[in-house]
Amino acid sequence: MEIDFKHSPVMLNEVLSGLNINPDGIYIDCTLGGGGHSEKILEKLNPNGMLIGLDKDQDAIDFTTKKLSTYKNFKSFHTDFKNVDEVFDVLQIDKVDGVLIDLGVSSYQLDTASRGFSFRFSGPLDMRMDKSQNLTAYDVVNTYSYEQLVKIFFEYGEEEFSKSIAKNIVKQREISPIKTTLELSKIIEDVIPKKFVFNRGGADKKVFQAIRIEVNDELDKLYETIIYLAKKLKSGGRIAILTFHSLEDRIVKNAFKELCTDCICPPKTPICICGHKAIGKLVNKKPIIAGAQEQEQNSRSTCAKLRILERI
């Protein structure tokens, strides 16, 4: 079946100018998605340059590999970007000129009901970016203990009603397993006081985000992967990272801080014993946000933050 992959690349111009593309350079798009950013990067490259695209979603790889098939200098890999070191090995590449990470889910994933990411459509509780993995949202909702559910809703969703939502899930699943996105949605909505529903971008948003992060292990090794990729940049090369919620952004901010700081000894250490040396500098002191027009046209861009680091 032909995939109808709809996704508008967020802050496209800001990402492209932030990467300061070298036409002969090697670039990695760690989150290929529908290839919106990748296509524009490829347009700026000479045949000598190369773009490597990774995605853990086979649908994204299939769609975008076909879409970009006229570019002979494009290679794609179905893998989690936490395994990007394997891609360096396979291609026998040592250093690259730029890296893009556009975190989270694509509009295609969110809007395809059968993928089970959204509380707006009825679908199976799935939420796997990589459909070959075992853990699904169904497993989280139906097998995690009350304490585990509270923890993920609180930590990954920053949900203030974590306990009452987890309690209602446990109560409902004792009657029968919770199978669909809309069943879960109702269980959440039933316990959130009406006066708090307004202004939350949908009562279910935080819990769905939390379950999605858990299912896809989204924060695991993100920090380490950013440090690894920054070390793989050539001098003057850049890494641009788009985040969509505070947990991701905090990890990027802290990783960039480590990369831009000479000494990372604990604050009260009298003399430096770590020997750490900065290898990067921030291109923008503050994260870049989408312009008013983009925010109006693409709701996904309203919470996006773009941070860019340059290798020194």
Site of interaction with ligand SAM (CB under 6 A): 7, 9, 31, 33-37, 54-57, 60, 80-82, 102, 104-106, 129
Pairing state between β 305-311 and 96-102: unpaired
Q: Which H or E run contains 100?
A: strand 96-102
Task: Report, in Å, the least distance between residue 115 CB and ligand SAM.
Answer: 10
Question: In 3D, which of 305, 262, 312 has the Cα closest to residue 285?
Answer: 305
| Minimum CB distance to ligand SAM, residue 106 (Å) | 4
Identify residue 28 by its one-letter amino acid code: I
Least Å from the CB of residue 155 to ligand SAM: 18
Nearer to ligand SAM, 101 or 178 (CB): 101
CB 73 to ligand SAM: min, Å: 18
Q: Cβ 195 to ligand SAM, closest distance in Å?
A: 33
Which of 56, 245 has the CB closer to ligand SAM? 56
User: Is residue 259 a contact partner of residue 230, using CB atoms and an 8 Å limit?
Assistant: yes
Radius of gyration of the chain (CA): 21
Contact yes or no for 64/42 (Cβ under 8 A)? no
Phi-psi region of 33 (alpha: psi -120 to 50; beta: other; left: phi over 0): left
**Minimum distance from residue 163 beta carbon to ligand SAM (Å):** 29
Instruction: Give the residue with the Cβ less far from ligand SAM, 80 or 310.
Output: 80
Of 91 and 278, the one with the shorter C-beta distance to ligand SAM is: 91
- Residue 63: CB minimum distance to ligand SAM, A: 10
Integer CA distances (angstroms), 4 to 38, 62, 64, 109, 181, in order: 18, 11, 11, 11, 22
Q: Which residues contact 171 (CB under 8 A, 6 or more apart)?
A: none
Kindly state the helix (H) or strand (E) to which residue 307 belongs, with its residue range. Answer: strand 305-311
- Pairing type for strands 96-102 and 233-243 reads parallel
Closer residue to ligand SAM (CB): 105 or 140: 105
Residue 54 or 309 with smaller CB distance to ligand SAM: 54
Instruction: Provide the minimum distance between the beta carbon of 7 and ligand SAM in the complex, in angstroms, as a whole number.
Output: 4
- Closer by beta carbon to ligand SAM, 60 or else 259: 60
Considering the complex, state which of residue 83 and residue 148 has its C-beta at the smaller distance from ligand SAM: 83
Which runs of consecutive H residues, i.e. helices, occur in the chain?
A: 12-19, 36-44, 58-67, 84-91, 107-111, 137-143, 146-157, 162-175, 181-191, 194-197, 205-216, 222-231, 246-259, 292-297
Nearest Cα neighbor of 247 from 221, 225, 219 is: 219
